[in-house]
Structure 1
Amino acid sequence: MRRTGTTRRGALTATGALALGAVLTGCGDDDKNQGRSGPVRTEAEAVRAEKALRTAAARTAALTLAHYDLAAEAHPALAEGLAPLRTAVREHTKALSAGAGKAAAPAPPAPGPVSADAKAAVKKLAAAERRRADAHAEALLTAEPELARLLASVAAAAAVHAYLLTELAKETAS
């Protein structure tokens, strides 16, 4: 692998700092509604909202996992390099599905055909990770603090995955 200006340690440090900032932002008084704008939620509404957020986040992660599976199947030479990222996405899916109830195992639609070009397949995978990071970051706006911390962590990890996949695409032969 060629050296870039950004090292893996630097990227992970920056990601950790972002996640820590998101965690500290989510911390506050024990009163869930204090300092929040908008209508006050009942406990049942909060539970339904959390389940809906978890289900949507788990579906997004499962779709990304399907992208990894298709890319590894279409390009066996990439499978070993994608394995650690795929494992992390699988764990994210499990963590997000934990409180989603019966809808925890969404069946995502097939992500479509994988490019015959390995470089293009990795770029498409990086784009899927960017979409996942954006979706989780957007969900932070309405999530309760505990779920917000999880979403922030998963969004940061997805952003790092996107970066690593972008770098891998630069090194992958067409």
Structure 2
Amino acid sequence: MRRTGTTRRGAFTATGAIAMGAVLAGCGDGTGPREGSARADAATTAEQAAARAEKTLRTGAAGTSRELLARYEQVVRAYPATAAGLSPLRDAVRAHAKALAPDGGKTLVFSRTRATDAAGALKELAAAERRTADAHTATLLNAPPELARLLASIAAAGAAHAYLLTELAKETSS
């Protein structure tokens, strides 16, 4: 008697493979049409909440930068001799505010400086730069990655501005 190509082991393997395929095809993750749309709705809601949170963070950070820009404008108006030294820093702060809120924002509100001379005004401005950099650093902890990188960059620039303003105040008083 001659053997056929089919062995008992081969038959069991084929049967097991067919059974396993049927079981796997019949098994789903339990998401019917209703559950899948519920997950999609939840994902959409989460994305909307994240977008609102980012917009709130951006708006707050942009307001902080605009306040700093207003202080720059006030110092330049009060002490025109500082305009040349403050112009590049003021332009950078303006760019930061625009990067945080490209659609613009509220108009600048000018406040009076307590300084009696240009050096004092520059020291106040340096302190305002430090406060703004600290505020941006605190905000980046809750920000999504892209906004966090932007805030970190702006905070680093603010720290550099504070240093430059301090040095400019020393030169102005000399």
| Both structures adopt the same fold (TM-score exceeding 0.5) | yes
Runs of 5+ in structure 2 lacking a partner? 1-44
The answer to whether the 8 Å contact 2:75/2:113 transfers is: no
Measure the CA separation in 2 of the matches of 1:88 and 1:110.
19
1:79 aligned residue: 83
Measure the CA separation in 1 of the matches of 2:88 and 2:170.
19
Higher radius of gyration, 1 or 2: 2
Q: 1:87-144, CA deviations, whole angstroms, 9 ceiling, x for partnerless residues?
A: 000000100002xx6xx40345433335231110000000110011001000011000
Runs of 5+ in structure 1 lacking a partner? 1-40
Q: 1:36-68, CA deviations, whole angstroms, 9 ceiling, x for partnerless residues?
A: xxxxx8111111111111001110100000001
Instruction: Pick the aligned partner of 2:49 from 34, 38, 45.
Output: 45
Judging by fraction of residues, say which structure has more helix.
2
Measure the CA separation in 1 of the matches of 2:46 and 2:57.
16
Structure 1 outlier segments of 4+, above 6 Å: none
Amino acid corresponding to residue 57 of structure 2 in structure 1: L
Q: 1:70-92, CA deviations, whole angstroms, 9 ceiling, x for partnerless residues?
A: 10111111101100000000000
The answer to whether the 8 Å contact 1:136/1:155 transfers is: yes
Q: 1:127-162, CA deviations, whole angstroms, 9 ceiling, x for partnerless residues?
A: 110011001000011000000000000000001000
Instruction: Pick the aligned partner of 2:67 from 42, 45, 63.
Output: 63
Query: Relative CO higher for 1 or 2, CA cutoff 8 Å, sep ≥ 6?
Result: 1
Instruction: Pick the aligned partner of 2:100 from 63, 72, 96.
Output: 96
TM-score, scaled relative to structure 2: 0.70
Measure the CA separation in 2 of the matches of 1:155 and 1:64.
12
The answer to whether the 8 Å contact 2:133/2:154 transfers is: yes
Measure the CA separation in 1 of the matches of 2:113 and 2:171.
22
Identity %: 58
RMSD between superposed Cα atoms in Å: 1.6
Q: After the TM superposition, which residues 3-152 of structure 1 pair with which residues of structure 2 at under 5 Å, given as runs?
A: 42-98=46-102, 104-113=104-113, 115-152=115-152
Amino acid corresponding to residue 106 of structure 2 in structure 1: P
